[in-house]
Amino acid sequence: MIKVFRRSFVAGLLSLGLALLSPHGARAQAQGTDTILVLDASGSMWGLVDGQSKISAARQAVDAILSKWNSADRLGVMVYGHRSKGDCKDIELMVPVSKFDPARIKAAIDGINPKGKTPISDSLRAAAEALHSTENKANVILVSDGIETCAPDPCAAAAELKKAGIGFTAHVIGLDVADPAAKSQLQCIARATGGVYLDAGNAASLTGALTKAVAATQGAKVASEAPPKPAAADPYLGKNLRGVARLAEGLDPISDEDVNWGIYKRAGDEKGEHVNTFYGAPFADNIAPGDYIVEVSYRQLKREFPLKVEKGKPAALDVILDAGYVTSEGAVAGGAGKVDDVVWQVADKGGKVVAQEYDAVPRFVLAAGSYTLTLTKGQSKTSKPFTVAAGDSSNVQLTIDVGKLIVTTTYAEGGPKVEKDLVVAVHQPAKPDGDEGDKVAQEYDPESKFDLPGGSYEVKVTVGEARGTASTEVKSGAPTRVTVNLNAGVVGIKTDGAQQVDIYSAERDLNDERKHVAVNYDATYNVALNAGDYVAVATFADGQKAEKPFSIAAGKRQTVEIKQ
């Protein structure tokens, strides 16, 4: 834990700050720069941007800039909000300012688990303390997705540090910041210290913003995206209703466009007529005086709260949702990258499904309680129980055993391929008593694809009356390709008005009977058959029968004509 300096710290550093202006300090600056990356790890960093959590986007972006870092420059990492939910002193210098060590920095950031508050002011002071021990040019790169939620105003703190002669510049990146007050605050920090402000909405733009911020620390001229003058102090001026939602008592306000505020007239203790719906959190708008019930909807969660609006008086909703965030970045056993084409389900302790998502990285907002998370991909499934406490931001790790089986079918070795009218079934291996194994899945495409748990399978393909089988092994995290050779051809049978055509195998058994293979009730008949010898028997309207033997060669078409 870093010792956090208050206003007295600024005065105490004034005389020390002048040392940065000494000739000795000027000589040291030529040796490189010292930078601390201050990373927001408050609970809101589990929010999603473009299908991945903000903390994942931050890890990805930092990985990208490490390869571009000037090895002569020193880099440290400071994180806030990653160890406890409600602690404004949760600020840690995870990597002290020292010789550039990308492996150490990557390991530190990969281990971050967002959960707490947003003490930006004290983080700036702590960063100033850590940087003041150096004589090199000093910079802070602050990445945050929200507003200060502890005591002081970070813009004022930054201005005080600058005024006191503390020689550092803060470059600020706002990550998916929807709250105009939060954006204005972050822009002010950059403006007050002579740094640049940059917006980022996803991992790609965050990488770009970090690249620009790094260039700024190294002396490049980078244009700030902050307006030259601060925005209005109150972006919600003139509104008589403001709404703020928190996951739990004492935590950061939620900043999320997914929060909806349904306003209903009160009918006793229940919702009456719908009046309006406001979107986003926090929000501000105007509403007529009256008694209302507000239904707050946040993804899978719904809560109701009373609201009384009086004429001439501003009304404020500061609601506690008693809920937590849950995400999961599912992995494939033996594979790399995220899972896709999946179904996520959350069931309560009674087994009732309360939420379902289809994104590669889901985000659930769940009431405090016990649940089970299930990940399904094709025929593979895995589950894990978990508990949500109010204010939690958790990532439930699931690893699924799944491989891709890709099946194509040919009439003969080397082709041609079967392009239509096929049924591809995947079975478990035959049972010990010789019975067919249970069917696992079935498809009908010329290239049929199956997501299956690793293991042994039998692939059975049917085309017309032709049958083909292949055994295969599926490995988790890897594709397996199987080609089933039917060793079959096609026969086209034409008759002179027959009402029924039966096909038999040519060979007779010990009882002098031929095995019945197929029947059709049209005068013409096209069917795929395994290679071999057959007899076609046509039955006509007068009961007369005529038959004709024929042979099927693999990959070939045979035409048979039968006349009465």
Residue 293 — pLDDT band, cuts 50, 70, 90?
very high
Residue 3 has pLDDT above 50, yes or no: no
pTM above 0.85, yes or no: no
Instruction: Choose among 486, 480, 408: nearest CA to 447.
Output: 408
Beta bridge partners of 382: 375
Percent of the chain, pLDDT > 90? 60
pLDDT at 50 over 90: no
Q: State residue 166's pLDDT score.
A: 65
- Please give the DSSP secondary-structure letter assigned to residue 83: S
Average pLDDT of the chain? 87
pLDDT number for residue 17: 34
Range of weakest confidence among 200-204, 215-219, 234-238, 445-449: 234-238
pLDDT at position 335? 78
Lowest-confidence segment of 19-33, 459-473, 524-538 by average pLDDT: 19-33
Q: What is the 3-state secondary structure (H, E, C) of 440-467?
A: EEEECCCEEEEEECCEEEEEEEEECCEE
**What local confidence, expressed as pLDDT, does residue 201 receive?**
85
pLDDT at 232: 57
* pLDDT at 133 (0 to 100): 63
* Candidate ranges 83-97, 302-316, 452-466; pick with highest mean pLDDT: 452-466
Q: What is the average pLDDT across 133-161? A: 81
Predicted local distance difference test score (pLDDT) of residue 26: 36
Least confident of 39-43, 227-231, 544-548: 227-231
Q: What is the pLDDT of residues 528-539, one digit of tens each?
A: 999 999 999 999
Q: What is the pLDDT of residue 23?
A: 34
Rounded Cα distance between 303 and 57, Å, is: 30
Q: Which pLDDT score is estimated for 391?
A: 86
Output the pLDDT for position 308: 95
Q: What integer pLDDT is reported at residue 85 of this predicted model?
A: 76
The alpha-helical segments, DSSP class H, found in 85-179 are 102-110, 120-132, 154-163
Kind plus residue range of the DSSP H or E element containing 187: helix 180-193
List the Cα angle 387/393/394 in 5-degree steps: 55
Please compute the mean of the pLDDT values over residues 144-172 and round it to a whole number. 81
Q: pLDDT: is 359 or 231 the higher one?
A: 359
Residue 16 pLDDT > 70, yes or no?
no
Cα angle 301-305-310, degrees, rounded to a multiple of 5 = 145
- pLDDT tens-digit profile of 118-127? 899 999 988 8
Which DSSP state fits 116?
Answer: B
- Tens of pLDDT, residue by residue over 259-271, are 999 999 999 989 9
Residue 234 has a pLDDT of: 63
Better-predicted residue by pLDDT, 179 or 520: 520
Q: Which domains does the chain have, with CATH numbers?
A: 7-217 (3.40.50.410), 241-321 (2.60.40.10), 329-400 (2.60.40.10), 403-485 (2.60.40.1120), 488-562 (2.60.40.1120)
Phi, psi of 219 (to 5 degrees): 100, -5
